[in-house]
Amino acid sequence: MTPRVETERLILRERRLEDFPEFAAIWGDPKVARFTTVNPLSEEDAWTKFARMQGWWSLCGYGFWLVEEKATRAVIGEVGMADFKRAITPSLEGMPEYGWVIASGAQGKGYASEALGAALSWGAEKFPGQTSCCIIDPANAPSIRVAEKHGFKRAATSSYKGADIAIFHRPPD
C-alpha cells in the first residue's frame, strides 16, 4: 500500500487508473524526456512505467508517488525511491535511488524540491543510516540544484545506456 504524504502545496500519493492520461502526457513531453528518457515515451511505454512504479510499493514497501498539486488537483509529476538494479559503475547497490520528474508546465515553482524533501523525510525512516543516491544528466542544472539543496553530492561521472550521467550520493541523516 502506498502511503500518502502531504506538504504545504503537494500530495504524494498512489496511482489510480484515472491518473494515467496526465502521467502519459508528462512522459510524452519532449521537455521532460530531454533529461530523462531522451525520447518522449509512447502511450505503451508510459503504461509500462505507470504500472511498474505502482508495483514497487507492493513488492518492496517503497517506490514512487504521483505528485498532485493541492490547489488544482492536477498530477504534476512523480517522486520516490527504488532499486533499479542498474548495470552501472560505480555500483548503486544497497542504496535507495531517488528520482523526481515534474511536468514542464509546473517546473520552476519549487515543486521538485518540496516533493523530494518529503520523499527523503519518509525514506529516512524506511532506510535509517543508509546512504542514498540519484543519477542526473550533467546538463540538467535545475535538477542538480534540487539534489544539492537536499544534501546530495556528486560522487562520480559514468556512462549509462550510452549517455554520460552524474552519480550523486547523500549521506544518512
Decide if 161 is inside a domain: no
Rg (C-alpha) for the chain, rounded Å, is 15
pTM to 2 decimals? Answer: 0.96
Q: How many structural domains is the chain composed of?
A: 1
Decide if 173 is inside a domain: no
pLDDT band for position 106 (cuts 50, 70, 90): very high
Decide if 151 is inside a domain: no
Chain centroid to Cα 76, Å, comes to 12
Residues 6 or more apart from 24 whose CB is under 8 A from it? Answer: 41, 43, 46, 47, 50
Write out the three cell numbers for 3: 502511503
pLDDT band for position 1 (cuts 50, 70, 90): confident
CATH classification at residue 101:
3.40.630.30
Decide if 39 is inside a domain: yes
CB distance 129 to 163 below 8 Å: no
Per residue in 23-61, pLDDT tens?
A: 999 999 999 999 999 999 999 999 999 999 988 999 999
